[in-house]
């Protein structure tokens, strides 16, 4: 009888821990809306002031670079990072959520590859040197580390052949590196926006950057949106109250997605 009451109290405490608050739902909804605003702003900036989008090695192809990098490396990446905080992901079956997490990150990775390809082709056409700015150093480092992160995550948490010890060793590193890459992506986007505005208004006697013409105001606002979006994502990730239950109560998150052959 005493044991049963103890188990009941333990279950009640676990349920209270897993029950999200209004603050969580507000933060998660704000995260979704800010991500949509970021994508909308970067698309509107490059179609309204930069001439639109094309894939012809011209400046219009370069415009794909900020659109794809903000959409992939910031917004989709941020969505993939916070999805494990959703209450529906706390249940026994985490396999669909792992698949969704990996898919969103794969889409972000593919967008980053296309975004880098767009800017490299543009530089080759105009014979502009590659990787000479701090923005490019941070961006290429984030993309390279992201590729390694995704491949290791695939090997450890989706493929059935990875040893249990490797999965348990990689999990905290995978989580920590995910936050680091997200911050690097935000820093890269912010520096890229600033660098682009300097190039656009350099030597422009009628519209100097310091006079804040409409394009500069809008692009600066995009940068602020990205920072706010990143802050909301990191706030969700940092709250222990919104973490899933520890393994033992629920399915171990280090279990691979694909089942091993019996």
pLDDT given at position 218:
98
**Average pLDDT for 170-174:** 94
pLDDT given at position 57:
83
Per-residue pLDDT for 232 more than 50? yes
**Average pLDDT for 156-180:** 90
- The CA-atom distances, in angstroms, between 17 and each of 9, 11, 22, 231, 244 are 12, 10, 14, 23, 9
pLDDT given at position 256:
61
Structure tokens at 120: 């490299």
End-to-end CA separation in angstroms for the chain = 40
pLDDT given at position 91:
64
3-47: per-residue pLDDT in tens? Answer: 444 544 454 455 445 455 788 889 999 999 999 999 999 999 999
Question: Could you tell me which residue, 215 or 17, shows the higher pLDDT?
Answer: 215
pTM higher than 0.75: yes
pLDDT given at position 246:
44
Spacing of C-alpha 245 from chain mean position = 23
pLDDT given at position 258:
59
**Average pLDDT for 160-176:** 89
**Average pLDDT for 124-138:** 95
Residue 200: other Cβ atoms inside 10 A: 16
Bridge partners of 66? none
pLDDT given at position 34:
98
Per-residue pLDDT for 61 more than 80? yes
Structure tokens at 247: 């393994």
pLDDT given at position 158:
86
Distance CA 217, CA 95 (A): 44
72-116: per-residue pLDDT in tens? Answer: 999 999 999 998 888 766 666 778 888 899 999 999 999 999 999
- pLDDT band at 247, cuts 50/70/90? very low
Bridge partners of 250? 247
Task: Kindly state the DSSP code that residue 261 receives in the 8-state scheme.
Answer: P
Contact 133, 123 (CB under 8 A): no
Residue 124: other Cβ atoms inside 10 A: 11
Q: What is the mean pLDDT of the chain?
A: 86
Closest CA to 189 of 36, 75, 70: 70
CATH 1.20.120.1770 fits 32-242, yes or no: yes
Structure-token match 């026994």, residue found: 92
Distance CA 88, CA 19 (A): 11
Helix (H, G, I), strand (E, B) or coil at 118: helix
pLDDT given at position 95:
81
- pLDDT band at 245, cuts 50/70/90? very low
């Amino acid at each position: 009888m005493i044991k049963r009451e103890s188990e009941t109290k333990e279950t009640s405490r676990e349920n209270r821990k897993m029950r999200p608050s209004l603050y969580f739902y507000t933060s998660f909804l704000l995260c979704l809306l800010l991500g949509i605003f970021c994508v909308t702003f970067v698309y509107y900036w490059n179609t309204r002031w930069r001439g639109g989008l094309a894939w012809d090695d011209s400046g219009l192809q370069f415009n794909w670079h900020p659109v794809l990098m903000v959409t992939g490396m910031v917004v989709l990446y941020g969505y993939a990072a916070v999805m494990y905080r959703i209450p529906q992901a706390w249940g026994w079956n985490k396999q669909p959520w792992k698949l969704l997490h990996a898919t969103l990150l794969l889409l972000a990775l593919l967008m980053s590859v296309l975004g880098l390809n767009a800017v490299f082709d543009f530089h080759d056409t105009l014979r502009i040197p590659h990787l000479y700015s701090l923005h490019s150093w941070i961006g290429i480092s984030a993309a390279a580390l992201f590729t390694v992160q995704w491949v290791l995550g695939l090997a450890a948490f989706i493929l059935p052949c990875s040893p249990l010890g490797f999965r348990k060793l990689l999990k905290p590193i995978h989580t920590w590196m995910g936050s680091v890459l997200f911050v690097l992506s935000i820093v890269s986007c912010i520096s890229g926006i600033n660098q682009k505005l300097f190039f656009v208004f350099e030597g422009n006697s009628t519209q100097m950057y310091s006079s804040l013409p409409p394009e500069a105001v809008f692009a600066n606002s995009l940068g602020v949106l990205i920072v706010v979006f990143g802050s909301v994502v990191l706030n969700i990730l940092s709250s222990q109250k919104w973490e899933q239950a520890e393994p033992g109560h629920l399915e171990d998150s280090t279990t691979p997605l694909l089942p091993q052959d019996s």
